[in-house]
A and B are shown apart, each in its own frame.
Chain A
């Protein structure tokens, strides 16, 4: 359950950013979470509920934006869709694919009052 630490980190960062911006309250937070990253979005939402109370984000909505997996296939010389990390190229079936998207784990933006 490292999602708990991740969400604590999210709360820390958004509350700090809100304070720096003179906000009274955070209304929503948007994350970019790649489908190939090592976290489970459901677990993130679950942990978010546990850590947000009593903070500026106490009532903030959490939106998780999923980013599809993509990679550069060295053999085909093009960008291909990746269903799993270290997966094979869907066209040539070989594994020489370098992940280019889908590994994101980022706080994109937030809405404050």
Chain B
């Protein structure tokens, strides 16, 4: 039996499997080579046998089935050859994230990771925040986008320093990229660092960048069901900013329902309602920033 899909193609010696090589898909448009070579006695593609016990296993790794055992690979693996890995897939990213976090703590840098879908107004929000807080705190920005550096240019117009990371095909920033950007940017001790993630309400949720908080920006034009549809992001965030509040009179958006939905996936989530365009509610956001930065500073003194 194939242990990937459970299809009954025993690679028994001499048995000519009539499908020969059936490349089949495991759904989702998947198209990986998954052939069962009934005829091919020198298949080195992907066999299901227990090679550790196979005396006919060639140097090059190919298996000569003509004189082999009709071993069936279900479902475990040969004991002698198993290495217990027991590591989180994200452990590499998390190690870089911890490094970033230690650096931020040591330098007293308050880092925030802004996440949202494209077009929620993250950049506009940052631009206004930088302009209005310029005299109170130094803010540097790391901009993540698949392409273009137009967001970094918009930030630089405010006088703040910004560095653009183009992820190319990548759908999120990871801690390694951010680590390098921080090296280049060399943010001042005691400053704030705003990381604007790639516009994507799914993938960035999984990647810790070393930030103090994830801040999810949701614009009221997106619909109040988003926290339920994309729960991971709202679960990972500490603050939700409901942006474009100036449009509320023109929409059927139910603020209460949206917050209820968000609290369902994350009971600790705090919310501020703002308009980056008109400036309404921004003072509440600044108050949150100040309080959170203060908590961070206390923590960094403890370290």
Contacts and interface: CB of A to CB of B under 8 A. Distances in A.
B206 A18 contact: no
B83 interface: yes
A9 B93 contact: yes
Given A46-B32, A85-B235, 5 more contacts: A4-B169, A49-B32, A105-B88, A105-B90, A112-B81
B215 to A, nearest CB: 19
A36 B29 CA distance: 21
Contact of A59 (B29, B44, B84): B44
B206 A45 contact: no
Contacts of A76: none
| Secondary structure of the B contact surface, majority rule | loop
Interface residues of A, number: 45
Interface residues of B, number: 49
Interface of A: 1-2, 4-6, 9-10, 12-14, 17-18, 21, 23-25, 27-28, 30-31, 38-40, 42-43, 45-46, 48-49, 59, 61-63, 85-86, 95, 105-113
B174 A5 contact: yes
Interface of B: 3-4, 26-33, 44-46, 48, 51-52, 57, 61, 75, 77-78, 81-93, 169-172, 174, 202-203, 205-207, 231-232, 235, 264-265
Contacts of A27: 51, 77, 81
